[in-house]
Chain A
Amino acid sequence: MIRPDMLLFGYVKYTVKDEDVKTVAELFLKQNISVRFHKNSFFVRDSKSKETDKILGEKIEYEKSEILGFGGFLYKNKKRYGAISALILTFVLFIFSSTRVWDIRVVTSSPEIEKAVISELENAGFSIGSSWRKSDLGKLEVMLLSSSDTVSWININRRGSVAYISVIEKEHHDEPEDKMGYSNLVAASDAVIEEITVIHGEAAVKVGDSVKKGDLLISGVISGEAGGGFCYAEGIVRGRISDTVTVEIPSQRIEKYEKKSSLCDVQLNIFNFSAKIYKYYRNLPSECVIIEKRDDISIFGKRLPFSVLKKYGATYGERVVNLTADEMTGLASLEMQNTLQKKLKDATLLKIRTEAEFLTDRYVMRSNIVYTENIGADLPFDAPNR
C-alpha cells in the first residue's frame, strides 16, 4: 500500500530493471533512506525525487513517472479551483458514508467472550472497515455458531454504521460417568463423620466415627446376608475436618521495573489496510520485550476506522523493595482469602480463627478452620477369581 503521506503530498514512481533491484536496494540501505519495492518499482515522495535521481545517478537505468497522488493532482490542476473543491467535498462525504463498518460492539459482560467473538468474526472476514454490502449477516451468524466454542446464540444487527452483536454464552455441564468395575469408597482426608448416605455398597462407618485418610467408608464387597457379590460403592459421606492454613509474606520482595522503553515500529491501519510508517530496531538490546500498543482514533466520541499500532522495545530490571507493615498485612489477607476460597470451594465453613505475628524477616498469618465436605474417594479393586 502507498503511504498516506505520499498519497496526500504527491509521489513519483521509479521503475528499474529486475536485475538492478538488488543494487538499488543496497544504495538506499547505505544512504539510510526508506524505500519499499513492488516487483521492480518503488515510490518516493515528490520532495525526495531529486535526491533519488542523484543516488541512482548514471549507473542505474530507470523510468520516472510524473507526480502522482493527490499532491500530483493538485499540481496538475492547480488553477482548477472548482475541481479541487469538489474533490475535497467528495472525500468528506466518503469518510462519513455508511457503506463501511465503522464499529463493532459485542453486548456481553465478559471481556473474554467479547475478544473471542471479535476474533472469530475477523477470521470469518467481518471486521471494522468491511463493506456492509458484501457482508451476509445471516451467513456470518450461522458460521459463528457452528465454529464457536464459547457462544450458543448470536445475533448481528446493523444500526447505521455500527454492528451490534448480542450473544448468549455456552454453558458447559459435566456428563455423569457410567461407572464400570468394582470400587470401595475411602476417606480422602482425616475427618469425623457428620453424614453418610449409601447409594451402592455397604456402610463401614457411622455418624460420629473418626476416620483417617484411606479408611474404608463404604464397601464395594456385599456381605452374604445382603446377597453377596461386588459392586461399585457410591454414596455421599460428609466429614468434619480441622485444618490450619498458613500464609507467610517476606518483608522484602524483588520487584521488576521498566528500565527503558524505545519506540521501534509504527504502523497506520485504515479499514483493512495497513501502512508501515517507521521501523527502528537498531539500538534495541538483545534481551528486550517487544510490547504492542494499539491506539484507536475517535472524533466526538465516534470511533473512526483508523488506528495506530506502535511497538516498543522494553528492558526490565529488578530491585529489592522493603514492604511496610500495612502492605504485608494487606498481601497476607489477600493471599489467605484466595487460599481459603480454593480450599473451601465445595465445603461448608463452620468455624475460623485467625492470628498473625510479625517476625524479623516476615509476617505470618495462620487460620484455624473447621469445615465439612464430601470426603469420599473411589478406590477400585479387582474381584477375586472364583
Chain B
Amino acid sequence: MQKNIKNVKPEAKEKLPANFHIEIDRSKDGLSLSVAGVYSIVDFSEENVILRVKKGRVLVSGTGLSIAVYENKTVEISGRITEVKFV
C-alpha cells in the first residue's frame, strides 16, 4: 500500500531569534562583547568562542574568556578579546 505523502507533516522550523546585534563595552578584565540574536553556542573555551547567528558564525578570540547568557538569545563574552570575525 502506498503511503499518502500529502498527510506527512513537515518538521516544525526552529523559531529563529531576530535582529543580530553586537555591542562592545570596556570591563575590568578587558572588553565585554554582547551578541544578540544567537541561535546556538557552537564552541567555547577560554581562547575561542564560536556563536551561530543569523548571518553565519562569529568567532571571538582572546584569552581568559568567560561567557554569560541572557534572556532573549543574548550572549556576553568578557575577557581580553583580541579578534572578532565572521567565519
Q: A interface vs B, CB < 8 Å?
A: 21-22, 25-26, 28-30, 32-39, 276, 278-286, 290
Residue in chain A with minimal CB distance to B34:
A279
Contact with A along B39-76 (1 / 0, CB 8 A): 01101100000000000000000000011111111111
Is A37 touching B71 in the complex (CB atoms < 8 A)? no
Tell me, rounded to whole Å, the shortest Cβ–Cβ distance linking B54 to chain A: 11
- State whether B66 touches A38 (Cβ < 8 A): yes
- Closest A residue to B68 by CB, please name it: A36
The answer, among B18, B41, B68, B69, for a CB contact under 8 Å with A282, is B18
Are B71 and A34 closer than 8 Å at their CB atoms? yes
**Contact partner of B71 among A21, A280, A290, CB < 8 A?**
A280
**Min CB gap A118→B, angstroms:** 17
Task: For residue B71, give the distance in angstroms from its CB to the closest CB of chain A.
Answer: 5
| Chain B residues, CB < 8 A from A25 | 41, 44, 67, 69, 75
Q: Does A29 contact B40, Cβ atoms closer than 8 Å?
A: yes
Give the docked Cα–Cα distance between A35 and B40 (Å).
15
Q: Select the residue from B34, B69, B75 with max chain A CB neighbours within 10 A.
A: B69
Do A282 and B23 touch across chains, with their CB atoms under 8 A apart? no
26 contacts between A and B (CB under 8 A): A21-B67, A25-B41, A25-B69, A25-B75, A28-B69, A29-B40, A29-B41, A33-B71, A34-B68, A35-B68, A36-B68, A36-B69, A276-B68, A276-B76, A280-B71, A281-B19, A281-B23, A281-B37, A282-B36, A282-B37, A282-B73, A283-B19, A284-B21, A284-B36, A285-B19, A286-B21
Cα separation A284 to B18 with both chains bound (whole Å): 9
| Docked complex Cα distance between A282 and B73 (Å) | 7
Q: Known contacts A22-B41, A34-B71, A281-B23; can you find 19 more A-B pairs with CB under 8 A?
A: A22-B43, A25-B75, A26-B40, A26-B41, A29-B73, A33-B69, A34-B70, A35-B69, A37-B66, A37-B68, A38-B66, A276-B68, A279-B34, A281-B37, A282-B36, A283-B18, A283-B19, A284-B21, A284-B36
Nearest-CB residue, chain A, relative to B20: A286
B17 within 8 A of A: yes
Query: Is B19's CB under 8 angstroms from A282's CB?
Result: yes
Q: Name A29's contact: one of B18, B19, B38 (CB within 8 Å).
A: B38
CA distance A34 to B70 in the complex (A): 4
Report Cα–Cα, A278/B70, bound state, in Å: 8
- Which B8-47 residues sit within 8 Å CB-CB of chain A? 17-19, 21, 23, 34, 36-38, 40-41, 43-44
Q: Is the beta-carbon distance between A281 and B21 smaller than 8 angstroms? A: yes
Residue of A whose beta carbon sits closest to that of B64: A39
Docked complex Cα distance between A284 and B68 (Å): 20
Shortest Cβ distance from A21 into B: residue: B44
Shortest Cβ distance from residue A20 to the other chain B in the assembled complex, whole angstroms: 10
Q: Output the least CB separation between A260 and chain B (Å).
A: 14
- B32 to A: closest C-beta gap in Å: 8
Q: Which of A33, A35, A36, A281 contacts B36 (CB 8 A)?
A: A281
Are A282 and B17 in touch, CB under 8 angstroms? yes
Give the Cβ gap from B40 to chain A, nearest Cβ, in Å.
6
Known: A281-B34, A282-B36, A290-B23. A29 touches B68 (CB 8 A): no
A48 to chain B, nearest CB (A): 13
**A29–B76 Cα gap in the complex (Å)?**
11
Closest-CB distance, B7 to chain A (whole angstroms): 30
Known: A21-B44, A22-B41, A281-B36. A32 touches B74 (CB 8 A): no
Residue of A nearest to B39 (CB): A29
Cα of A278 to Cα of B74 in the assembled complex, Å? 11
B-chain residues with CB within 8 Å of residue A21 when the two chains form the complex: 44, 67
Most buried by B among A276, A280, A281: A281
